[in-house]
Amino acid sequence: MANIRNLDLNLLLVLDTLFEEQSVSRAAKQMRLSQPTISFSLNKLRTFFDDELFVRAGGAMVPTPRAEALRDPVKRMRTLLETEIATAAVFDPGTTERVFTVSTSDIGELVFLPALLEALRTRAPHVRIVSRSMPPAELQQAMTDGKVDLAIGYFPDFAGGTYFEQKLFDHPFACLARKGHPAFVRGMSLAAFLEADHAVVSQEGRSQEIFERALAEAKLSRRVMLHSQHFMTVPLLIAGSDLVATVPRAVALAYSRMTSLEVFAPPMSIPNIELKQFWHRRTQQDPANMWFRRLTSELFLRRDPSTSGAGFLFA
């Protein structure tokens, strides 16, 4: 067998057309080429396959057994080329079974996933979402490798150039204490806040640093009784003690639904958390990713899902 480098894809298209037409002249007409061109192509095919491929028999060019063996594979290759390779890159959300991998914090899952899943249910019913949380360095590598399509949330260390970003909305902090906490009967004053014992829920590189920086700049200090990395145990600890926790409001709302906790506006100025979506430049022009980013943008641009329907909190 000759070197495959000598096999031009166009030669295989000629071969396929010859099977259909059983005539060099008609194949030429169908391919809008001259008869000698097809004859020349057939000659190259003959050299490559070391077989006559088509021989004259009466008025027709009939395939040899060797050619006959190539008929189906060549047809399959042409179909593959036409339907999967040479087609325009289109993305049909209605039929796609694409899996989108999103990286967000557990807070992010709480804030973004419900609205996202609801939107997908009607617009892209076969799309599946994989949510993966990982440290920032690992996340950047995963996005470079194409293992993560989109990062949504607070990621201060994404450098420009390689990544694109879009700000979605600002998310505030909120304070949590048990219902009936004696120090906060008439709301949460700064004095009472500073007087209380605190619990800090913090994972590395997360939004907690915004709150800590704001306290430091205001030269305020508080007594932290508990540091925890586990979001799930903290609401129970607060409910059963006089501890106060300051967390992203979405977390506060979720906690307050789980146990009898009260949500307060923080008694000092804290910058909002800028929640953004980030993607690698390699996916900038990918139709599937473009569609997915447009969807998240449509759902969350300047719209904090934890605020809608819960306007009673800080109205």
Partner DNA sequence: GAGTTACAGTCATACGTTGG
Partner DNA sequence: CCAACGTATGACTGTAACTC
β pairing state of 273-280 and 150-153: antiparallel
Give me the DSSP letters along 105-150.
-HHHHHHHHHHHHHHHHHH-TT-EEEE----HHHHHHHHHTTS-SE
Give me the DSSP letters along 35-96.
HHHHHHHHHHHHHHHTS--EEEETTEEEEPHHHHHHHHHHHHHHHHIIIIISS-----TTT-
Binding to DNA by residue 284, rule CB under 7 A? no
Q: How many CB atoms lie within 10 A of CB 272?
A: 15
If residue 214 lies in a helix (H) or strand (E), which one and from where to where? helix 208-217
Binding to DNA by residue 50, rule CB under 7 A? no
Binding to DNA by residue 148, rule CB under 7 A? no
Binding residues for DNA, total number by CB under 7 A: 21
224: phi then psi, degrees, rounded to nearest 5 = -95, 115
Binding to DNA by residue 25, rule CB under 7 A? yes
**Nearest distance, CB of residue 32 and DNA, angstroms:** 7
**Nearest distance, CB of residue 8 and DNA, angstroms:** 6
**Nearest distance, CB of residue 1 and DNA, angstroms:** 18
Out of 2, 9, 10, 230, the only residue in the binding site for DNA (CB under 7 A) is 10
Binding to DNA by residue 131, rule CB under 7 A? no
Out of 7, 30, 37, 194, the only residue in the binding site for DNA (CB under 7 A) is 37
Binding to DNA by residue 303, rule CB under 7 A? no
**Interaction pattern, residues 82-121, with DNA; x per rule: CB under 7 A:** ----------------------------------------
Residue 277: both structure tokens together = 């979506």
Binding to DNA by residue 43, rule CB under 7 A? yes
**Sites for DNA among residues 58-87 (CB under 7 A):** 58-59, 61
Q: Which is nearer to DNA, 58 or 94 (CB)?
A: 58
β pairing state of 244-248 and 173-178: antiparallel
- Residue pair 277/168 in contact (Cβ under 8 Å)? The answer is yes
Q: In the complex, which residues of this chain contact DNA (CB under 7 A)? A: 8, 10, 23-26, 33-37, 39-43, 56-59, 61
